[in-house]
């Protein structure tokens, strides 16, 4: 599966292009950081673990014992490197340089950092399993004792959480589907046919995904339960049409009659649901876009299965049905007709109250905050969350952001001046809020202030300064190859790229926009100062996962607004065209946007963060809501044309559409409620938000929609309908020939 957030944005984005350029010169952040309770600088298990998996610790890649890892660095090995010749730092100086990265804040806790090979990046789960195996064999450390962090660990955890989520959700959805089918159908054969249709839809959808080369990720794993629920919903509706056709047409013609009656409603339902799903294709985030496209394909596959396979089964094995009893809900008058009667009886009062309440709640949408942070994708009790909390408490922040200093070929700064600039920049970055530590070539350089300090009196102050600078240049030139091997210096297009990797808290709620602004404010004065001194050809860029995450967060809300807004506009225009009435389109528009405004406004007031799981339900639920509204409006139109009053037409529409509304809510709502038990937070959030939208939509269709139809907008539509009916009747009367008068009758 592909769960790398850095690959979710389009390639043309500046952040993506900068990250691609960065990867052309530097190794990706494919590191696994490992520690455990008692992992200190004098713990012998550190060396055994490193050598057992890779070999001797080194800052440069080499021959290793594992095809998945290229090199390993440990706190003790780096401490020895910095305190030995030729760097010759004191132990205190070396610990200070490594504090917050390889050595903990207490100066004793340490870690082991493995860098992955391309083979390891391509097979992250086996690579992590190999790490667990060596830790158990060489050090006696169990998987539960190890604390792991790093991008590969995040990806593997997402894979596992996504797979567990799909299996659990699909199982719970199947159970919910069985219960709802029994409640709606009460016949073993019909229940079996409906459930098989749902599973076939899932299998066919996954086959299409596989054969078209779809890239699976944790978000796309939401597709199977989603298309299953949609397939079961449509199959139940066809089964109900079949039952209604049995008494009049018998077992021979009932399947054909059911298909005739169900085709148009199912086409409308499929079309509106598919439009909602396809609107997700407008998202700039690849997982959401993929989910929308393939889920829409799955919905159409389900429609084909329902209209072709289900009738064929019922033709071969007809259902012999006993008379059904009225459900307890209808017998007790708890079916929602009271809401419809209330809306029809007091349309103005209900409309005003709903709009005022909606306005107050919807204002909370201006307070919405989006997030695509990797850590927000996991349940709070997930092992990766506890591991990161332990690591960041003892070692320091883990999320990387890279500051790259570009030196053009014409830059006049020598090597000593360049490393001094990098060291100064690194110091400023370390002072920023949320930054725990950073690493650069300066981390592995000798102490420039301690190099070549001649004894007093051997030369003038001027000569001593020049001598010290000369010695610094010579020694640094010897270290240049080490800087390149360490991965913090690269030659590029005749110039140089110097990398400073800072670590930001992965679990903290970091305002990335404010952070990048503060980073820019800390770094750019250095560049401007060089330019004032005549040193041109120096520039600084920022890249890594954090800038991409920030852009992805902006894209998340923007994509939801664009997709949902275009859906509503398209469906409203379609309603105006179909009904030939602007007022009908406005009624559909008002009833359709009610659920999203209410639910997302409430989320804003409650401070609930909008993640990838929350941006998908509005467009999906819109299709269901619009489907119910369109059926209701069509029945209302027929009643008005038949001469009924608006109130009677509303009640007649409810009589025909009320039961399908409840069934749609029960089938979709209870089926998707199973998503709330997923260990994967986006799937869980999808379930909560979807059920909330469907519930608010049902209440709105039972209360707000009747009030609109019995209010001023409904009056305008009624006049338009009656006027067109009168015009059509007049045209028909004028087109009919006058009756012939016989000659005999004329004489008489």
Neighbour-count burial of 667, counting CB atoms closer than 10 A to its CB (0-12 exposed, 13-18 middle, 19+ buried): buried
CA geometry: angle at 72 spanning 71 and 73, to 5°?
130
Neighbour-count burial of 504, counting CB atoms closer than 10 A to its CB (0-12 exposed, 13-18 middle, 19+ buried): buried
Whether the Cβ atoms of residue 185 and residue 203 lie closer than 8 Å to each other: no
For residue 216, the surrounding DSSP H or E stretch is none
C-alpha closest to that of 498 among 509, 490, 506: 490
**What is the token pair recorded at 498?**
């110097």
Question: How far is the C-alpha of 12 from the C-alpha of 144, rounded, in Å?
Answer: 42
Neighbour-count burial of 652, counting CB atoms closer than 10 A to its CB (0-12 exposed, 13-18 middle, 19+ buried): middle
Whether the Cβ atoms of residue 98 and residue 78 lie closer than 8 Å to each other: yes
% pLDDT > 70, the chain: 89
* pLDDT tens-place string over residues 125-136: 999 999 999 999
Measure the CA dihedral 658/663/665/666, to 10°.
140
pLDDT surpasses 70 at 217? yes
Neighbour-count burial of 188, counting CB atoms closer than 10 A to its CB (0-12 exposed, 13-18 middle, 19+ buried): exposed
Rounded average pLDDT over 438-454: 71
Which domains does the chain show, CATH number per domain?
A: 30-149 (no CATH), 157-367+550-727 (1.20.1640.10), 395-543 (3.30.70.1320)
Which residues face 492 on adjacent strands? 495
What mean pLDDT is reported for the chain?
82
Question: How far is it between the farthest Cα atoms of the chain?
Answer: 151
* pLDDT tens-place string over residues 68-120: 998 889 999 999 989 988 788 899 999 999 998 899 989 999 999 998 888 88
* pLDDT tens-place string over residues 279-297: 778 777 788 888 889 999 9
- Confidence at residue 214, expressed as pLDDT on a 0 to 100 scale: 84
Is residue 614 very low, low, confident or very high in pLDDT (cuts 50, 70, 90)?
A: confident
Whether the Cβ atoms of residue 32 and residue 114 lie closer than 8 Å to each other: yes
- Confidence at residue 600, expressed as pLDDT on a 0 to 100 scale: 92
C-alpha closest to that of 226 among 266, 185, 183, 273: 273
Question: How far is the C-alpha of 238 from the C-alpha of 259, rounded, in Å?
Answer: 7
- Confidence at residue 540, expressed as pLDDT on a 0 to 100 scale: 92
**Which ranges of 580-616 does DSSP label H, i.e. alpha helix?**
582-606, 612-615
pLDDT surpasses 70 at 739? no
**What is the token pair recorded at 451?**
């190099």
Whether the Cβ atoms of residue 130 and residue 66 lie closer than 8 Å to each other: yes
pLDDT surpasses 80 at 55? no
**What is the token pair recorded at 401?**
């952001």
Which residues face 540 on adjacent strands? 405
- Please tell me the least confidently modeled range out of 17-21, 349-353, 491-495, 559-563: 559-563
Is residue 327 very low, low, confident or very high in pLDDT (cuts 50, 70, 90)?
A: very low
Three-state DSSP at 460 gives coil
- Confidence at residue 461, expressed as pLDDT on a 0 to 100 scale: 46
Whether the Cβ atoms of residue 434 and residue 508 lie closer than 8 Å to each other: yes
How are beta strands 31-35 and 112-116 bridged, if at all?
antiparallel
CA 242 to chain centre: 39
C-alpha closest to that of 292 among 275, 278, 303: 278
The residues, ordered by sequence, that sit 6+ positions from 375 with a Cβ below 8 Å of its Cβ are: 384, 385, 388, 506, 507
- Confidence at residue 722, expressed as pLDDT on a 0 to 100 scale: 85
**Residue scoring higher pLDDT (571 or 40):** 40
Is residue 244 very low, low, confident or very high in pLDDT (cuts 50, 70, 90)?
A: confident
Rounded average pLDDT over 537-561: 78
For residue 376, the surrounding DSSP H or E stretch is none
Which residues face 460 on adjacent strands? none
pLDDT surpasses 80 at 725? no
**Residue scoring higher pLDDT (332 or 32):** 32
* pLDDT tens-place string over residues 256-278: 988 988 888 788 778 877 887 88
Highest mean pLDDT among 8-12, 79-83, 667-671: 79-83
Three-state DSSP at 429 gives helix
How many alpha carbons fall within 13 Å on the CB side of residue 656? Answer: 18
pLDDT surpasses 80 at 605? yes
pLDDT surpasses 60 at 335? no
pLDDT surpasses 50 at 704? yes
How are beta strands 495-504 and 538-543 bridged, if at all?
unpaired
- Confidence at residue 743, expressed as pLDDT on a 0 to 100 scale: 44
- Confidence at residue 102, expressed as pLDDT on a 0 to 100 scale: 92
Q: Is the peptide bond before 86 cis (omega within 30 degrees of 0)?
A: yes
- Confidence at residue 666, expressed as pLDDT on a 0 to 100 scale: 80
- Confidence at residue 459, expressed as pLDDT on a 0 to 100 scale: 47
- Please tell me the least confidently modeled range out of 68-72, 315-319, 376-380, 730-734: 730-734
**Rounded to two decimals, what is the model's pTM?**
0.78
């Amino acid at each position: 599966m592909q769960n790398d957030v850095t690959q979710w944005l389009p390639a043309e984005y500046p952040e993506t292009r900068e990250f691609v350029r960065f990867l052309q010169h530097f190794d990706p952040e494919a590191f696994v950081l490992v520690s455990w309770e008692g992992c200190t600088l004098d713990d012998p298990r550190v060396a055994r673990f490193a050598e057992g998996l890779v070999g001797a610790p080194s800052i440069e890649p080499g021959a290793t014992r594992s095809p998945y890892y290229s090199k390993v660095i440990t706190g003790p090995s780096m401490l020895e490197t910095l305190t030995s010749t030729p760097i010759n730092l004191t132990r205190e100086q070396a610990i200070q340089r490594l504090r917050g990265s390889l050595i903990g804040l207490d100066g004793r806790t340490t870690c082991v950092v493995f860098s992955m090979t391309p083979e390891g990046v391509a097979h992250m789960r086996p690579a992590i399993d190999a790490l667990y195996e060596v830790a158990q064999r060489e050090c006696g450390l169990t998987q539960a004792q190890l604390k792991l962090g790093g991008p590969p660990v995040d990806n593997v955890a997402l894979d596992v959480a996504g797979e567990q989520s799909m299996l659990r959700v699909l199982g719970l959805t199947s159970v919910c589907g069985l219960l709802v089918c029994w409640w709606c159908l009460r016949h073993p054969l019909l229940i079996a046919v409906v459930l098989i249709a749902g599973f076939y839809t899932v299998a066919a959808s996954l086959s299409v995904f596989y054969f078209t080369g779809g890239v699976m990720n944790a978000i796309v794993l939401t597709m199977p339960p989603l298309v299953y629920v949609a397939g079961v919903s449509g199959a139940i509706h066809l089964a109900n049409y079949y039952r209604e056709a049995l008494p009049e047409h018998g077992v021979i013609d009932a399947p054909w009659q059911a298909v005739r009656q169900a085709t148009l409603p199912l086409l409308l339902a499929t079309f509106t649901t598919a439009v909602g799903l396809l609107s997700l294709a407008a998202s700039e985030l690849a997982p959401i876009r993929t989910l929308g496209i393939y889920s829409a394909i799955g919905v159409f596959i389900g429609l084909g299965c329902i209209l072709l396979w289900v009738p064929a089964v019922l033709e071969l094995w007809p259902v012999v049905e006993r008379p059904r009893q009225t459900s307890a809900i209808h017998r007790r008058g708890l079916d929602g007709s009271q809401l419809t009667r209330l809306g029809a009886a007091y349309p103005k009062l209900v409309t005003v109250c709903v709009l005022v309440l909606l306005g107050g709640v919807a204002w909370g949408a201006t307070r919405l905050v989006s997030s695509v942070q990797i850590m927000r994708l996991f349940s709070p009790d997930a092992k990766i969350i506890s591991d990161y909390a332990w690591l960041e408490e003892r070692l320091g922040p883990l999320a990387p952001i890279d500051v790259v200093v570009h030196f053009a070929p014409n830059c006049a700064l020598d090597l000593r001046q360049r490393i001094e600039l990098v060291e100064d920049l690194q110091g400023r970055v370390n002072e920023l809020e949320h930054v725990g530590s950073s690493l650069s070539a300066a981390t592995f350089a000798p102490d420039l202030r301690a190099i070549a300090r001649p004894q007093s009196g051997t030369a003038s102050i001027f000569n001593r300064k020049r001598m010290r600078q000369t010695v610094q240049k010579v020694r640094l030139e010897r270290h240049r190859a080490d800087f390149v091997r360490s991965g913090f210096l690269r030659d590029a297009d005749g110039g140089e790229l110097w990398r400073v990797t800072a670590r930001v808290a992965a679990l903290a709620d970091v305002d990335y926009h404010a952070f990048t602004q503060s980073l820019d404010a800390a770094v750019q004065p250095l560049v401007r100062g060089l330019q004032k001194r005549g040193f041109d050809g120096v520039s600084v860029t920022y890249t890594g996962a954090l800038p991409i995450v920030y852009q992805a967060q902006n894209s998340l809300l923007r994509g939801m607004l664009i997709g949902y807004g275009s859906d509503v506009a398209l469906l409203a225009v379609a309603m105006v065209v179909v009904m030939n009435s602007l007022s009908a389109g406005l009624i559909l528009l008002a009833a359709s946007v009610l659920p999203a405004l209410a639910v997302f406004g409430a989320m804003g007031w409650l401070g609930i963060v909008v993640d990838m799981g929350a941006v998908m339900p509005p467009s999906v639920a819109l299709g269901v809501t619009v489907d119910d509204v369109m059926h209701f409006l069509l029945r209302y139109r027929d009643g008005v044309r038949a001469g009924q009053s608006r109130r009677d037409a509303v009640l007649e529409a409810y009589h025909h559409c009320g039961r399908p509304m409840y069934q749609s809510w029960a089938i979709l709502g209870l089926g998707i409620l199973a998503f709330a038990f997923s260990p994967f937070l986006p799937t869980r959030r999808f379930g909560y938000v979807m059920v909330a939208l469907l519930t608010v939509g049902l209440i709105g269709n039972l209360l707000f929609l009747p009030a609109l139809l019995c209010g001023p907008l409904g009056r305008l539509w009624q006049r338009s309908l009656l006027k067109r009916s009168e015009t059509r009747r007049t045209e028909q009367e004028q087109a009919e020939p006058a009756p012939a008068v016989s000659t005999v009758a004329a004489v008489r």
